Structure 1
Amino acid sequence: MRGHSLTGIAKMAPRPLAVRPPERSLTIPVPERLQEKRGRTMDQLQSRLMSLPLELRQMIYRSVVGDSTMHMILKENKLGHLRCKAPSAIQCPLGFNGRTLSRECCWGTVDSANIWAPRRGNVVEPTDGDILPLLQTCRQIYSESINYLYSTNTFSFSDLDCLRYFSTTPRFSLIQTLDIEWCLSWPIYDPFAQHLLLSNPALFPPHDEATWEETWRIVAAMPHLAFVRVSLLYFDGFRDPRCEGRMLAPLWGVTRPKRFEVHVSWSGDEVEGAPFQLIRPVVQEVGEGEDEDGEQW
């Protein structure tokens, strides 16, 4: 598996976020030295929303922009996000689409470069989660509501590059709940298997070991992370337990979450002392008088 092609990378890599000068910052209060440059911020007393106590406004903001699962998607040269249609990330159908783990039942499909596209016949829904209109209303609403977007939602990623790009956003550190699903390329951390491949290097981003390790350095540095759920698909499993140990090694640096689950698709031994709970598939033992399919003989 070579990962994204050069064409795919050109389509996928988001444009860098513009560096907003301090005088154009959306967040209030405005430092006194910048008030003249930024212009006057109206008090919005004519608004019925702004006439409510702050506590009630915060409840409204959270209801509109928070307490959901946001599926982060790659688009051409930018990122997008879609609200999950299931009650929670755990109840959102997760399946294999022929290339990678995917939430197709919920939000669409992806091409070979993991670029999102709506499913055929579906009405194209906005890829901003229908949240931006509220945030763009005025500086006061933006300032009072923006933190709820990051701190109260579950952010779901099906692509490591998508997570890496999103980590550059200013409020990424406020995220508390993270859901990651990823298909591991077959020869990862297996020098013998990589030696058999005819390409050099054997693995290409984002399926290479450097991208995998950088991803977990990013996650380990998230200061407010409380819950992480990881779902990993690996077709043939690990030939050598040492290879699996090397793959799991970057995850040992993620120590902040109170709850850290790693679901894998292959069997193996238990991992003791890890900061995560490793959950393997349940293997049913063949009973006496039954074959492997459970048929009596």
Structure 2
Amino acid sequence: MANRRTKATTIALGLACAPFLCCWIIIASCCCPRRLHPHGESGEKRRFEKRQTMAPRPLPVRPPERALTMRRRTAEPESEVQPQTPRGVTRNQSASRLMQLPLELRQIIYRAAIGDSVMHMVTKKYKLGHQRCKAPTIAECPEQYSFFSPDNVWSPLGEPLDNPPATDGDILPLLLTCRQIYSESIEYLYSTNTFSFSDLDCLRYFSSTILPHRWSLVQNIDIEWCISWPIYDPLAQALLISRPALYPPHDEATWEGTWRIIGQMPSLKWLRVRLMYFDGFRDSACEEKLLAPLRQVTLPRTFTVHLNWAGEEIEGAPFRAIRPGTRESLFPDEEWA
């Protein structure tokens, strides 16, 4: 008799809970159907691990005697102690017609050759690359300039991944001509160009694969980033089956770490961020958490954040938020006046 009552109770509870369970499955499958697949997280995990194996390695510490940049001349007398076996030899370049020009003219040539452009930074296998934008200004640069494969390997639009065109071939030859040209021109590469990123990992790799004093020269940064659901949405993350909810670089830790790097850039003067989210945030508190790391960046004179979703006006921030339908979004060219 007791067993019959237990079975009846179990059946009654099952019938009562069945509608709620069905509703949860329907809502979860509509929001993120791939999350409900039994092996949905394995694909994301494999892509993350493959990205890690192809990631560029941080720049090793270079001994002082192997520095490519020539030391600046000072009024102090040279030391009488000379190294017995110098690691590098700097030859006299006075016969070069370029070196016969005054330094001021050479600097103008260097800047015209490798500066004042938009450099689209891309992640390739085990290294970074760049492609100089063909648009006259970054304001005229077309959207979706390039795309990445699931493994974060760059490929231009319309080109196969197996044979992408070469990158970074228009700047390095000049820098590698000789040590004097490298020393006189290298600062223009970092201080006058605008570096554009469409991947957070690419920006982080760039900051760790160049010398710190070169990174400190960067003044202009442009970021375009597609936000992945359900970032900064604890309720949605709690309903997901997969753990973790997001893999780097789409997770909160990578997002916050990226802005710590940007916040420590000493020479940053211009910063534009374009954020895209499929349907905006259901809760304004989630948006506040997303934009909170940006509030620590206070140095740039021009700091704009373009959001592709509607929302309330953001007050007390060091940046100017531009949403769809605002005057700034209708007349974007005024930003570059």
Q: Which residue of 1 aligns with 2:275?
A: 232
Quote the Cα distance in structure 2 between the aligned partners of 1:175 and 1:4.
34
Quote the Cα distance in structure 1 between the aligned partners of 2:202 and 2:106.
32
Shift of 1:90: 1.7
Shift of 1:124: 5.2
Quote the Cα distance in structure 2 between the aligned partners of 1:90 and 1:4.
37
Shift of 1:6: 3.4
Q: Which residue of 2 aligns with 1:258?
A: 301
Aligned length: 273
Quote the Cα distance in structure 2 between the aligned partners of 1:142 and 1:157.
25
1:29 and 2:71 are equivalent in the alignment: yes
Cα 1:154/1:244, change in 2 over 3 Å = same
Q: 1:79 aligns with which of 122, 128, 136?
A: 128
Q: Which residue of 2 aligns with 1:52?
A: 101
Q: Which amino acid aligns with 2:312?
A: D
Shift of 1:11: 4.7
Shift of 1:7: 4.4
Question: Is 1:3–1:205's contact at 8 Å kept on the other side of the alignment?
Answer: no
Runs (4+) of structure 1 exceeding 6 A deviation are: none
Quote the Cα distance in structure 1 between the aligned partners of 2:270 and 2:245.
33
Question: Is 1:186–1:236's contact at 8 Å kept on the other side of the alignment?
Answer: no
Q: 1:218 aligns with which of 258, 261, 285?
A: 261
Cα 1:3/1:56, change in 2 over 3 Å = farther
Alignment gaps of 5+ in structure 1: 95-101, 285-297
Write out aligned runs for 1:80-159 (5 A): 80-94=129-143, 102-104=144-146, 109-118=147-156, 119-120=158-159, 125-159=165-199
Quote the Cα distance in structure 2 between the aligned partners of 1:121 and 1:10.
23
Cα 1:261/1:34, change in 2 over 3 Å = farther
Q: Which residue of 1 aligns with 2:58?
A: 16
Quote the Cα distance in structure 2 between the aligned partners of 1:17 and 1:52.
34
Question: Is 1:26–1:139's contact at 8 Å kept on the other side of the alignment?
Answer: yes
1:165 and 2:165 are equivalent in the alignment: no
Give 3-state SS (helix, strand or coil) of 2:305's partner: strand
Question: Is 1:164–1:215's contact at 8 Å kept on the other side of the alignment?
Answer: yes
Cα 1:75/1:157, change in 2 over 3 Å = same
Q: Which amino acid aligns with 2:159?
A: R
Quote the Cα distance in structure 1 between the aligned partners of 2:179 and 2:87.
11
Q: Which residue of 2 aligns with 1:184?
A: 227
Shift of 1:283: 7.2
Cα 1:135/1:269, change in 2 over 3 Å = same
Shift of 1:206: 0.3
36-45 vs 216-225, greater mean Cα deviation: 36-45
Q: Percent identity?
A: 60
Q: Which amino acid aligns with 2:117?
A: S
Shift of 1:88: 1.5
Quote the Cα distance in structure 2 between the aligned partners of 1:275 and 1:50.
45
Q: Which residue of 1 aligns with 2:27?
A: none
Quote the RMSD (CA, aligned, Å). 2.2
Cα 1:166/1:115, change in 2 over 3 Å = same
Q: Which has the larger radius of gyration?
A: 2
1:279 and 2:318 are equivalent in the alignment: no
Cα displacement string for residues 235-277 of structure 1 (whole angstroms, at most 9, x for unaligned residues): 0210100010010000000000001000011000001110000
Q: Which residue of 2 aligns with 1:97?
A: none
Higher share in helix: 2
